[in-house]
Structure 1
Amino acid sequence: MNQQRLRGRPAHMPGPTFLSYTPNGRKLISVGSNNAIRVFQTGSDAEPTNIDDCQDSNTAVAAANDFFVTGSEDGTVCKYSLESNSLDGVLVRCTLPIRDVALSPDGKWAAVASDELVVKVVNTDDMSRVLYLRDQARPVKHISFDHSGTFLAVSCSDGCIYVYSLSSEEPKMIRKVDGLIKSLETDVEASSKVIWHPDGRAFAAPTPTREVQIMSPSDWEWQRVFKNGHTADITALAWSPNGGLLATTGADRRLLIWETKTQKIIKTFEGVRATILDMAWHPTENILSYTNNDGELYIHTDIVPSEHTGILQKSLQPAPFIHDPLAEISANGRPPITNGLKNGLVSRHARRGTPDSLDEILGDDGMSASEADGFITDDDGTGPSRKRPNDHLDALDYPLSKRRATHSAWQPTVHPPFQPGSTPWRGNRRYLALNLTGCIWTLSQDDYHNTITVEFYDRSLHRDFHFTDAFKYDKACLTPHGCLFSCPPSPSTDPKSPSATQPAHLYYRPHETWTTRSDFRIPLPGGETATAIALSASYIVVCTSAAYVRIYSLFGVPLRVYRQKATPAVSCAAWRDYVLTIGNGAIGPDGRPALVYSLENVARDEVCQAEDTVALSPGAELASALFSAEGDPCVYDDQGVLAVLQHWRAPGQARWVPVLDTTRLARLASGRKEERYFPVGVAREAFHCIILKGGDRYPYFPRPLLTEFGFCVPVVDRAGKEASGMGDGEEDEEEEAPGGEAQRLEEMFVRQSLLLSLLEDLTGATRATHSQRTELARKGLEVDKALLQLLAAECRDGEERGMKALEIVGLMKDRSGKMVEAAGKVANRFGRDVLGERIRELAERRLVGLDDDEGAG
């Protein structure tokens, strides 16, 4: 193929030259080392419009649809009108040369980088409104707004990127990124400019190794990299309007066009005449324009080869993540498409092909096919416009509120599935399982395999290990006995049938065994994928995409296969012989499906609870479902409430009881802390979690330490330090408010009563051991101690409340009379003679009742 011969336009005198398209693509503005500005009309071969009333040696330009701003070496930033092609005025002056200017997407603010240490952000309508960015210690070379106008990336000559948030009155630096860009002086040709991807979820920057690195500002992890393209420093780079292509050029005089999805070069232009310093894609056409250090402007039409123009014509393309969060099928990513819904957006073609569909006849939204294809037809303003209301969205993703009546049928959004203890990908790492035994995490090595590492807290029992994962397992469970993995279907590695797929399977690996080989794989039937998995000391449980619950023994023997009533499945958990499954149930009053759970004893083939509701906080979503170390089902929601299931062994008697509300912890009382908690486990009357700060939602590496908070049933305004499991040295010591001791004791009584009830259910349903019977007696004594202390607090109160005090004595569990006798002594100590007499009468009635019971026995 013959390479297109380009003829540069000598727009300016020899020297650095820069350009900018207007957002509508109708005009192209170029500036250079002379005192002239050129305004080119897109699609016209006529001579450009010259603006001569300008500064010498302009070094930067940024354009809106009706005006543009320039910066010059004399430190002046000017605003020009595109309607009159004249100077509107001076926006701001600096004492040193301007190096870069950038306009916010709405054109309201202009950011200015100069050889001064401060970056100025000026309002384009009112030049007296100026924001100052002062965190950088050296001059700034480049600046760029993200596509929302909320964030500004500042490329400093010290080799760091400073990212500022402009969402408040005072700008705030939210991140300093070190090691991504090269330390460059502000006047060199090499670039360190940050360019934001059009989808807004990532940005790219040239690295010291002559590559282009992608970074995600959501987790500040390095993502995909465009490499092996340049042999010298990169001098300019630009995304295509839809983000599907990336253009780069360097001091090696090469211009490269990359495909974003694969990071492959699809076109190379060798022997560029002079070093390119700036370039920009046309917003709608297959045109790339660039300027060089010789005063020339090139408008390269049909820059993308015909075999690849389909990429440029696509809708907005995703940023090149190693693991795209929007592509995750677990609960940590995008919810699956169900009933024509995707993230609350209804598919335009959800009903296409059905017998009663009119889409095939009338086209989309009741228009003809030609009308639908030409829905946006007036790019140049010459004819009537039928502007699509949401053209930042894909054609298949119209919001329900904006749809026409024929497509606005409401459908619920189901709760997505999730694997307890797992996290989404951040960069090339993620946790597959985090619990009180240890953790399992995976490292993405390349497109062909991962590396899985299993770590234990108690290394005296088991040693850490890792292995190469060619199946790319996406779910895992860890217990003291073994670990379980599951993977989705994958392409076949058989060269004879490359189009075939390998079915999803389970992989179980015990920690210890007396046989030579004990690990095994269980293939799932074709078309099924594991939605959630669970592992206990007795069974392997998997909920599949076909709405099946499959239960196997620890040796791979299938024991149960049944259809889950509440679908789609959300999660599952297992403990010894018990299996907990959770799914989407009937639509609730809030318009969302209620979560429904079932509890089964596999060994006895008994259903303890069938299709009961998971009671969450109002408006909350389920964050984790697990069994405590004592064997009680627990759930934790995204509003920070931990609840335990009481009386779950008796059919129809189960109820969810909140045992901790993390938003009421004393450490949060001052309001100075903002943190959330990632659930890890429940054991020894405490919630074990990882504290997340700085807006994080999931833990990352290195593995954080675990923190535990003791149970505190929310019966008072705020959990005290005594119940929180840990004090906070930053909290001011305050005297307990009046009635505070009574409230604390009331909470203790409710909590101890709940724990006693859970233990009574356990010992009543199993063959209780000696230690369990001892613990049961101790729990009963703890309840009575709490009541005795509460009685003392009531007697200490100056106001006589004998009836409440007597009721407290009546709640005591001890039937021997010792605790009631102690209660009488407490009343006498505080001079409550009438109360003491009532307590003695109560003791006598209890003794008589006890004697009657013994006689009847």
Structure 2
Amino acid sequence: MATVTQQRIRGRPAHPSGPTFLTYTPNGKQLVTAGSNNVVRVYETGSDGEPTNLDDCQENNTAIAATNDFFLTGSEDGTVCMYSLHTFTYEKMLTRCTLPIRDIALSPDGQWAAVASDELEVKIVNITDTYRVLYLRDLPKPVKHLSYDPSGTYIAASCTDGIIYIYSLSTEEPDLIRKVDGLIRSLETESVSSSRAAWHPDGRAFAAPTATRDIQVLSSGDGERQRAFSGGHIGDITALAWSPNGAMLLTASSDRNIVLWDTKTQKILARYEYPNVINIAWHPYENIVSLVTSDGELFIYTKFLQPEVVPLLEKTLQPAPFIRDPLAETSGNARKPLTNGVKDNADPRGRRRGTPDSLDEILGPALCDEGDDFVSDDDGAGYLDEVNGHGKRGNAHLDAIDIFDGKRRATYQAFQPTIHHSFQPGSTPWRGNRKYLCLNLTGFVWTVDQDTHHTVTVEFYDREFHRDFHFTDPYLYDKACLNENGTLFSCSPANGNPAMVFYRPHETWTTRADWRTQLPAGEDVTSISLSDSYVVVTTSADYVRVFTLYGTPFRVYRQKSSPTVTCASWRDYVLTMGNGPVGGDGSTKLLYTIENIKRDEICQSEDIVALTEGAKVKSVFFSDDGDPCIYDSTGVLLILQHWRSPGQARWVPVLDTKQLDRLASGKKEESYWPVAVAHEKFHCIILKGGDQYPYFPKPLLSEFDFKIPCQTFTPPEDAENPTALEGPKLEESFVRSSLMLSLLEDLVSSTNATHSQRTELSRREIGVDKALLQLLNVECREGEERGMKALEIVELMRDRSGKMVEAAGKVAGRYGRTVLQEKIAELAEKRLMGIEDEG
């Protein structure tokens, strides 16, 4: 791109030579500048007149920030002062530091000011109550730049040690959540070169100058490097700023050039020759850019963009330049954006300001370009007068239901139920150029996007039994399953090629029999599963396609519940899920079917997946014993009981991760990525902070014992009493052991049970009675008034030989509960005679 040749604008001598700073007010009406003298100038947008001068400010200003009502200046004497933009007078000293101020950042709501100085901590001061101060700690050196993200939830501190520190402000004290090393240079606080982290307006990423004089974009969620703006400068970057809608990036450098970049393509749109530029500011909504130089000159550049580039500025909020944009891949799941009422800092022309959910190119013009006034009040019905605070109209304008007067009615949008979108269990979304295709107890499968192809890696936990392997993937596989026998892959239709399924066995006694099969044109894979016997594929045509392990088509049928959601397999069984009827909350009910493929038998047909309102299934899998399990978005693990008996299945919660003891203090913020259920434990990956998916390097697996959410309330006076807590623990143990016994009984009764399984069944029956015996001991210890419950506990015992009931009588005798002992003896006699009271 050649240098733009147009009439050079005249610089205004705003301040003496030296560091100079500028900022627009959020409403764009005023531009405020400060420099090395004691004068702050306020310029009115659109006016060629002289600025308003405030002559009694501090000297040697080093930072400035503004709202619509006031502005703040920081100076080398360590003070931060506040001035009114209505009266142009000094209001108060916001805070004082012992060393020079280096930067000020105002929160988006204008209620807090973050102040960086040459001290080793950053102050965040409340504007109204200056005694309310938060601190950014854990900083080894002074901070040079501060930047709030658009939501005000995070703040980035560019430190002079060459590291960007990201803090979360969602807790009472700022929490350091990430250190970004190896990106920015180590710069002194007085340097004119920049190391600022500039947040993209959509809030999902920020950009910062690198040591190679490029501008690198990083995703804010995981710190992964995204696209980069390269080759634009040969000198150090001194300033960078996104356009208000994020469609363009403007950078200045010591090479005397300002470069305008296209965010989407990272290509140079224009190059301007301006020397010594050290700060840049875009007007919030007009085609105006202002910049200041180290000579103290101010340039207000109206009609900055060329006519062919102006349409970029007129777009609504544009997405940050991700290598793989997670929103673009899940646009069907995104919520439709709501337009807010116009605020003080909104576009005065009435144009809708974008939000992180209102990305034109992601959601499409049908959702993003309707505008706020797509309903016109052309018939005088008063529609526009009744818009509420959420951008919706009330129902006051509607006529009575039984009246029709021939008037033209407003057009209503058809009801759209919320559906459960398809997903692949164990798979994660793209983060940067990587994603996990499969995570389970056998190993990991992940892929790396190399632009022209992918690179797939399969890694096993047991390397003595299996060898890791990787291969170049020209088909761009996006789903995978892994077990002890082989690895299954699938890819979506692309470049005119149909969807495809690929199976690769690990070891065979002949030449390895890899096989591929293509789906019919127009049919896409929604989920896949792999067992010891079959390959199962659900598709966008609502077909369930079953193959043998060596590629022979075995069965094809259409799923009753649609659209399809996911599937899971274990031996000869396959579980499929799909969308069913719409519930009262406007969401479809999730239905599941379990079938024995080999025997062609339906175990459960179109039964409802038990979810709380608003919850979603995050993963579905079979346990190591072959029982179906789901993990939902509320953090609850459920297992399916009696699933082999048609119409008898029910989902039982075996663990609520939000009630884990490790979270009792309330100080930990973590969630859990489900991996498997094995040996009566929940195997998962712990996700710290706000992470929703595991990432690289390869995460460690953690395991938690089952703990059925029974009674959890403990009276405050008994909270520290171990004896008071013993009863609820034993009750939970009884419920849990009874459930596990029931699952094993179902397995033994429906299969050719082995000797070890029958032995395990007997052991579990004894285990249930032992839990009851321990619970009886607690009840007897509590006193005679608990005798009725104690007798009930004995009646729950399954032992028919009388040994456990006899032991229960001894427990009652030990505590001197003679009446209870007599009742237990009567119960033992009845059982011995085979007499039972019918309930």
- Give TM-score scaled by structure 1 length: 0.83
CA contact (8 A) 2:259 2:271 kept: yes
Q: 1:663 to 1:401 in 2, by over 3 A?
A: farther
1:556 Cα offset (Å)? 2.3
CA contact (8 A) 1:335 1:343 kept: no
Greater Cα offset, 827-836 or 148-157: 827-836
1:103 Cα offset (Å)? 3.0
Greater Cα offset, 829-838 or 539-548: 829-838
Residue in structure 2 matching 1:687, options 682, 689, 694: 682
Q: 1:312 to 1:655 in 2, by over 3 A?
A: same
Aligned to 1:294, the other structure's residue is in SS state: coil
Greater Cα offset, 224-233 or 182-191: 224-233
Question: Which residue of structure 2 lines up, in the alignment, with residue 241 of structure 1?
Answer: 244
What are the residue-to-residue correspondences of 1:708-723 with 2, within 5 Å?
A: 708-717=703-712
Question: Which residue of structure 2 lines up, in the alignment, with residue 299 of structure 1?
Answer: 300
| Distance across 2 between alignment mates of 1:840 and 1:593 | 55
Q: Deviations over 1:715-758 (max 9, x none)?
A: 34289xxxxxxxxxxxx9965324x5454444333323222222
Question: Which residue of structure 2 lines up, in the alignment, with residue 356 of structure 1?
Answer: none
Question: Which residue of structure 1 lines up, in the alignment, with residue 558 of structure 2?
Answer: 563
Residue in structure 2 matching 1:458, options 436, 449, 462: 462
What are the residue-to-residue correspondences of 1:465-476 with 2, within 5 Å?
A: 465-476=469-480
What are the residue-to-residue correspondences of 1:410-429 with 2, within 5 Å?
A: 411-429=416-434
CA contact (8 A) 2:246 2:320 kept: yes
1:242 Cα offset (Å)? 0.3
Question: Which residue of structure 1 lines up, in the alignment, with residue 646 of structure 2?
Answer: 651
Q: Deviations over 1:38-78 (max 9, x none)?
A: 44443444454555454444443333334433334454544
| Distance across 2 between alignment mates of 1:145 and 1:842 | 72
Is 1:323 aligned with 2:327?
no
Is 1:736 aligned with 2:695?
no
Aligned to 1:365, the other structure's residue is in SS state: coil
| Distance across 1 between alignment mates of 2:81 and 2:435 | 49
One-letter amino acid of the counterpart of residue 328, structure 1: E
Q: Deviations over 1:116-175 (max 9, x none)?
A: 444444455566665554543433322222223343332222223333444566555444
Question: Which residue of structure 2 lines up, in the alignment, with residue 433 of structure 1?
Answer: 438
CA contact (8 A) 2:257 2:275 kept: no
Aligned to 1:676, the other structure's residue is in SS state: strand
Question: Which residue of structure 2 lines up, in the alignment, with residue 275 of structure 1?
Answer: 276
1:18 Cα offset (Å)? 2.8
Aligned-residue identity in percent? 60
Is 1:748 aligned with 2:733?
yes
| Distance across 2 between alignment mates of 1:352 and 1:317 | 12
| Distance across 2 between alignment mates of 1:33 and 1:151 | 31
One-letter amino acid of the counterpart of residue 290, structure 1: L
CA contact (8 A) 2:317 2:356 kept: no
Question: Which residue of structure 1 lines up, in the alignment, with residue 406 of structure 2?
Answer: none
Q: 1:145 to 1:403 in 2, by over 3 A?
A: farther
| Distance across 1 between alignment mates of 2:812 and 2:78 | 85
Q: 1:112 to 1:584 in 2, by over 3 A?
A: same
Q: Deviations over 1:791-834 (max 9, x none)?
A: 55555554176665555444444444554555556566666666
Is 1:481 aligned with 2:479?
no
| Distance across 2 between alignment mates of 1:352 and 1:690 | 39
Aligned to 1:219, the other structure's residue is in SS state: coil
CA contact (8 A) 1:617 1:637 kept: no
| Distance across 1 between alignment mates of 2:173 and 2:790 | 57
1:631 Cα offset (Å)? 0.7
Question: Which residue of structure 1 lines up, in the alignment, with residue 352 of structure 2?
Answer: none
Residue in structure 1 matching 2:660, options 635, 660, 665: 665
Question: Which residue of structure 2 lines up, in the alignment, with residue 759 of structure 1?
Answer: 744
Q: 1:482 to 1:102 in 2, by over 3 A?
A: same
Q: 1:390 to 1:249 in 2, by over 3 A?
A: farther
CA contact (8 A) 1:343 1:413 kept: no
CA contact (8 A) 1:344 1:413 kept: no
Is 1:784 aligned with 2:769?
yes
CA contact (8 A) 1:617 1:641 kept: no
Residue in structure 1 matching 2:20, options 17, 22, 27: 17
| Distance across 1 between alignment mates of 2:188 and 2:514 | 59
Q: 1:514 to 1:311 in 2, by over 3 A?
A: farther
What are the residue-to-residue correspondences of 1:38-437 with 2, within 5 Å?
A: 38-85=41-88, 87-88=90-91, 90-124=93-127, 131-166=134-169, 170-269=173-272, 272-329=273-330, 335=333, 364-366=374-376, 406-407=411-412, 411-437=416-442
Question: Which residue of structure 2 lines up, in the alignment, with residue 723 of structure 1?
Answer: none
Greater Cα offset, 524-533 or 127-136: 127-136
Q: 1:227 to 1:609 in 2, by over 3 A?
A: same
Question: Which residue of structure 1 lines up, in the alignment, with residue 755 of structure 2?
Answer: 770
Aligned to 2:770, the other structure's residue is in SS state: helix
CA contact (8 A) 1:91 1:127 kept: yes
| Distance across 1 between alignment mates of 2:82 and 2:147 | 18
Q: Deviations over 1:220-275 (max 9, x none)?
A: 33332222222221111010110011111211222211111222222233xx3422
Q: 1:704 to 1:244 in 2, by over 3 A?
A: same
What are the residue-to-residue correspondences of 1:482-497 with 2, within 5 Å?
A: 482-490=486-494, 492=495
Q: Deviations over 1:758-796 (max 9, x none)?
A: 222222222222222222233233333334444555555
Q: 1:345 to 1:368 in 2, by over 3 A?
A: farther
1:450 Cα offset (Å)? 2.7
Q: Deviations over 1:673-730 (max 9, x none)?
A: 44332221112222222233334333333333323223333334289xxxxxxxxxxx
CA contact (8 A) 1:326 1:334 kept: no
Q: Deviations over 1:372-411 (max 9, x none)?
A: xxx9xxxxxxxxx9999999xxxxxx77989997447654
Question: Which residue of structure 2 lines up, in the alignment, with residue 379 of structure 1?
Answer: none
Q: 1:120 to 1:635 in 2, by over 3 A?
A: closer
One-letter amino acid of the counterpart of residue 750, structure 1: V
In the alignment, structure 2 segments of 5+ residues that lack a partner are 339-354, 398-409
One-letter amino acid of the counterpart of residue 531, structure 2: S
Q: 1:115 to 1:368 in 2, by over 3 A?
A: farther
Q: 1:783 to 1:123 in 2, by over 3 A?
A: closer
1:453 Cα offset (Å)? 1.6
One-letter amino acid of the counterpart of residue 763, structure 1: V
1:632 Cα offset (Å)? 0.8
Aligned length: 793
Greater Cα offset, 798-807 or 455-464: 798-807
CA contact (8 A) 1:345 1:400 kept: no
1:200 Cα offset (Å)? 1.5
Q: 1:388 to 1:187 in 2, by over 3 A?
A: farther
CA contact (8 A) 1:274 1:294 kept: no
| Distance across 1 between alignment mates of 2:803 and 2:182 | 71
Question: Which residue of structure 2 lines up, in the alignment, with residue 703 of structure 1?
Answer: 698
- Give TM-score scaled by structure 2 length: 0.84
In the alignment, structure 1 segments of 5+ residues that lack a partner are 354-358, 370-374, 376-384, 392-397, 493-500, 720-731, 851-857
Greater Cα offset, 253-262 or 81-90: 81-90
CA contact (8 A) 1:216 1:222 kept: yes
Q: Deviations over 1:636-675 (max 9, x none)?
A: 2233322211111111111112222333334444545443
CA contact (8 A) 1:152 1:163 kept: yes
One-letter amino acid of the counterpart of residue 778, structure 1: R
One-letter amino acid of the counterpart of residue 114, structure 1: S
One-letter amino acid of the counterpart of residue 480, structure 2: A
| Distance across 1 between alignment mates of 2:305 and 2:388 | 29
| Distance across 1 between alignment mates of 2:258 and 2:365 | 43
1:520 Cα offset (Å)? 2.3
> Alpha carbon RMSD of aligned pairs, Å?
4.0
| Distance across 2 between alignment mates of 1:402 and 1:312 | 37
Residue in structure 2 matching 1:443, options 444, 448, 451: 448
Question: Which residue of structure 1 lines up, in the alignment, with residue 9 of structure 2?
Answer: 7
Question: Which residue of structure 1 lines up, in the alignment, with residue 500 of structure 2?
Answer: 505
| Distance across 1 between alignment mates of 2:634 and 2:663 | 14
Q: Deviations over 1:304-330 (max 9, x none)?
A: 44444332221101112233232233x
What are the residue-to-residue correspondences of 1:22-41 with 2, within 5 Å?
A: 22-41=25-44
